[in-house]
């Protein structure tokens, strides 16, 4: 009887160790998936930031476009390309969003700019880039949510605590 209890206890301990090892592996994969999804976000953001000079070229030459608006788009695009951390990239992207919206709004109603053949092309490329960013943002946020949920629920919370895995609060919210 005593030997049977020892064997049963050993099987339970072995099963728990195996289960926690598998769970740790899954949590690590989820954490790595966040980094992989962020790579997609970075590529989409960089693609749009690289369109900023094309927009500036398309609207230059019309005296009614403020130099400050053009400078803001240029500086915001460069800042986004220089940013390294997710938080810095998100903040730089939000500044570029505002700058692009302001310049597009100002330029879209001007006959000389609207008649420029490159302006509608750049505007369409920016719309496509915005779609790619939204899609990459959605996938990234889903990966972050999945990971955070799994490390907050039992038994993942215990394995995460023992493994030193922390919650990721770097969601990418559109502003």
Domain ranges for the chain, please list them. 2-163
Q: What is the pLDDT of residues 18-32, one digit of tens each?
A: 667 778 888 899 999
**Per CATH, domain 2-163 is 1.20.1440.20:** yes
Asked if 80 contacts 45 with a C-beta cutoff of 8 angstroms, the reply is: yes
pLDDT at residue 39 in the model: 94
d(CA 37, CA 31): 10
Span 52-72, pLDDT tens digits? 998 888 887 665 677 888 888
pLDDT at 34: 95
Ramachandran category for residue 164: left, alpha or beta (phi over 0 → left; psi -120 to 50 → alpha): left
């Amino acid at each position: 009887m005593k030997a049977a209890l020892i064997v049963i206890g050993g099987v339970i301990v072995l099963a728990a160790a195996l289960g926690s090892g598998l769970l740790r592996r899954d949590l690590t994969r989820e954490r790595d998936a966040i980094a992989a999804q962020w790579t997609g976000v970075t590529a989409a953001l960089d693609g749009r930031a690289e369109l900023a000079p094309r927009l500036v070229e398309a609207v230059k030459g019309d005296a009614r476009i403020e130099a400050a608006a053009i400078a803001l788009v240029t500086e915001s695009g460069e800042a986004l390309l220089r940013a390294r951390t997710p938080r810095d990239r998100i903040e730089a992207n939000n500044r570029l969003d505002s700058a692009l919206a302001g310049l597009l709004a100002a330029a879209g109603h001007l006959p000389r700019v609207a008649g420029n053949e490159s302006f509608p092309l750049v505007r369409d490329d920016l719309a496509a880039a915005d779609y790619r960013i939204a899609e990459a943002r959605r996938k990234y946020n889903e990966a972050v949510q999945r990971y955070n949920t799994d490390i907050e629920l039992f038994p993942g919370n215990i394995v995460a605590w023992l493994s030193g895995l922390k919650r990721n609060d770097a969601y990418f919210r559109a502003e």
